[in-house]
Structure 1
């Protein structure tokens, strides 16, 4: 089991190094070649697009992983057809909603093309979320790496063209194209793995299948709204404050450092989910004991990895500052604080997955309500402190989330 998780984690990590690495490097290039207004516009688009995509996915990404991981030799699975039907309806509905309510979304820019960028990206990103969740479920991590590599190559060329032409819109085109290639590639992997006949046979819908899907996806949808809104509102609080564009830009850079901090833990988490689903489906005392031991080991490994990333960030903070240029004062403290936030988030990911694989999605929703309350209170208290840029609020809220979720696991005897 451990060997399989390590193997899947390695390919998932390679995938994310390519996928997120290119996005981060692209963001660095954009930050250095465009002024703060253009960089803030790009960052605002990316943050808003991901928030809206989380809404539109209505919790179906995790549901897709759980469903596909449960496939065990059957000739069809009607839940799969239900998931894709709900995803397609949601992506269409949200894309139209964005176009109709553009004035409400357009909080920081007068660019009339923003609504089209957001609408197209959200439509594609919802499909990517469900398709990638399915690929995780069938554990095709190696094949997903090559899909990400292809998508990242196209993204890189478009970002370079954007800096050459001086037009920030091409950087946004790059993000949209990247999502499109990922969607096509993931769909190909699913069909190749399960067979076209299996997929067609699974497109059977009934009220019971829809209810069963929504009963799991519903709480996950609300949770995704809370999580994405919390980060977005944090950035908006900084953007609308004093020195807003600069503070928001540094916050965006901090989130990139944060994303590096959770890079390896996220891949471990992704590789762990299918194994947890299979173990949870078997009501065996020995397997339950093995699962508890596995969870403790994974938490310890992630803690050690996070400490190493914090030490690396501290040692390389001058390099980070030099990468982003003199326009942004990325101090040693900023790097360490955002990596500390990443550590507590990483630990929370594991406790989250354990709860979800045991159908504790409503409990996870309640814990995330607590998380966003703590986040909003602390961001308001610390938003004007030029040493923090939202990092302390993230740290505080993720500590509360991890401790409360750990208590829930202990009470349920799942760890």
Structure 2
């Protein structure tokens, strides 16, 4: 398979992610202008917590769906069909279980003293978890162009919700718009996937539940732990920051920095997502062709992250002013998060190549090391009287990227 088309696929995937990530950033800017730091921290904590808990509830099925939906229409002769229907059914079951659990659990366990409606948090986790498999399938099937239109619409809905929340000084309205947008995103992506694959292909082997579940979990098991650790890192770091003297204000600053950290990674993320199905489908190609494809992705991820970060660093003083005087951390506050993003940019691209070559257990071990470094640096910063944040992210990024290169080379991928 030729490497041409990687940039085109990345473009449509980029449009989808910019709509999603950009709408969250614009919503934050709108809300910081009208909400006090405690109310804005509640909104940011809701967003971060819902993302973490939905990753827990997804049980690693997102990457699993990308991995196996990418084989649809490209099966080799005699290859046994993967039980896609069982995969999807498990995702729905996990989403409902998470919703019920969050409704019944004591609200104070997750609220951290912030004003977050428990029922809305549960609905948010339900919505994001239901979107996991169709979202992963979109990546595997490379239906980026169709999905981008849905992302534009749902992103606009989040911005509208932020405007209404700002006018009424009520962060729960903005939280609700995130939930509604996630539900609509999932419905739209489900329609695209079913139209592309068909009910018959999805339902294949759905009758042999026991063996099908076992086959799903063989791959999803390590990816579950990877997802849990990756999602927990930012949340745990945020909880450490809430323990600092700055409290809600320090967490609000952290959420702003984290948004720009994620924004720098939008383009590299598109490359890594596009690369995964390409590597799977290119499994029978020569070692040289596989290496060329992966190196192309690494170069694209690193270059795009560096360019976006440099532009962000130049504009940092003006960017921080947009959030208001109480959040003006200056050029180097934002610069720390931009640097951390550049350092970790190639890691996810290499990681997807490792996972695509059935190296999920090695990626699991690497992610565990990353989480350990992230929290260790955060605790050290806290004990020294500093505010954990960009330094913890940067330290963990250096370790993860270095080890990712080492593992990929040991597996003869680069």
TM range (shorter): over 0.9
Post-superposition shift, 1:311? Answer: 1.5
Deviations along 1:277-316, whole A, 9 cap, x unmatched?
1112x2x4x2x21111221232123222222122112210
Deviation of the 1:104 alpha carbon: 5.2
Query: How far is the alpha carbon of 1:77 from its aligned partner?
Result: 4.2
SS in 2 for 1:33: coil
1:55 maps to which residue?
Answer: 56
Q: Which runs of 5+ in 2 are unaligned?
A: none
Provide closer, same or farther for how the CA distance between residues 2 and 335 of structure 1 changes in structure 2, counting only shifts above 3 A: farther
Pair 1:209 & 2:212 matched: yes
Output aligned runs, 1:85-164, within 5 Å: 85-103=89-107, 105-109=109-113, 111=115, 114-164=117-167
Aligned twin of 2:331: 332
TM-score (normalised: structure 1): 0.94
Work out the number of aligned pairs and report it: 410
1:22 — aligned with what? 23
Separation in 1 of the partners of 2:320 and 2:237? 23
The yes-or-no answer on 1:223 pairing with 2:226 is: yes
Counterparts of 1:116 and 1:155, CA distance in 2? 19
Q: 1:199–1:294: structure 2 CA closer, same or farther, 3 Å change rule?
A: closer
Q: Which string of whole-angstrom CA distances, capped at 9 and with x for unpartnered residues, describes residues 23-47 of structure 1? A: 1100111111100010011111111
Mark the CA change 1:110 to 1:158 in structure 2 (over 3 Å): closer, same or farther. Answer: closer
Q: d(CA) in 2 for partners of 1:196 and 1:375? A: 43
Residues 246, 385 of structure 1: CA spacing in aligned structure 2 closer, same or farther, 3 A cutoff? farther
Task: State the 1:163 CA deviation.
Answer: 1.3
Aligned to 1:81: 85
What residue number does 2:290 align with?
291
Maintained 8 Å contact 2:244/2:387: no
Per the alignment, residue 390 of structure 1 pairs with 389
Mapped to 2, the partners of 1:387 and 1:141 lie a distance apart of: 42
User: 1 CA distance for matches of 2:261 and 2:282?
Assistant: 31
Partner Cα separation in structure 1 for residue 341 and residue 101 of structure 2: 33
Residue 110 of structure 1 deviates from its aligned partner by: 6.0
Return the TM-score normalized by structure 2.
Answer: 0.94
After superposition, the C-alpha distances for 1:106-142 in whole angstroms (9 at most, x for unaligned) are 342364x622111111111111111110011111100
Deviations 1:241-294 (A, max 9, x none): 2111111111100001101110111111111111011112x2x4x2x2111122
Q: After superposition, where does 1:227-242 map in structure 2 within 5 Å? A: 227-242=230-245
SS at match of 2:244: coil
List alignment gaps of at least 5 residues for structure 1.
none
Question: Is 1:193 equivalent to 2:196 in the alignment?
Answer: yes
The secondary structure found in structure 2 opposite 1:316 is helix
State how far apart, in whole Å, the 2-side matches of 1:329 and 1:156 are. 22
Equivalent residue, structure 2, for 1:411: 410
